Amino acid sequence: MALAKITQVSGRAVPVRGDDLDTDRIIPARYMKCVTFDGLGEFMFYDVRFDEQGNQKQHPLNEERFKGATILISGNNFGCGSSREHAPQAIYRYGIRAVIAEGFAEIFFGNSTTLSLPCVSVSRADRETLQQMVEKDANTEITVDLEKKTVTANGKVFPCDIRESARQALTSGHWDPIAELLESGKKVDEVADKVGYMAVR
- Give the chain's domains with CATH numbers: 8-174 (3.20.19.10)
**97-123 tens-digit pLDDT:** 999 999 999 999 999 999 999 999 999
181 versus 77: the higher-pLDDT residue is: 77
**62-72 tens-digit pLDDT:** 999 999 999 99
Of 134, 137, 159, 163, which is closest to residue 149 (Cα–Cα)? 159
User: What is the rounded distance in angstroms from the CA atom of residue 166 to the CA atom of residue 12?
Assistant: 23
**CB of 155 closer than 8 Å to CB of 129:** no
Judge whether residue 88 has pLDDT over 90: yes
In the chain, the N- to C-terminal Cα span, in Å, equals 26
Judge whether residue 165 has pLDDT over 80: yes
Judge whether residue 131 has pLDDT over 90: yes
Q: Quickly count: other Cβ atoms within 10 Å of residue 42's Cβ.
A: 10
Judge whether residue 77 has pLDDT over 90: yes
Backbone angles phi, psi at 104, to 5 degrees: -130, 150
Phi-psi region of 185 (alpha: psi -120 to 50; beta: other; left: phi over 0): alpha
**CB of 179 closer than 8 Å to CB of 169:** no
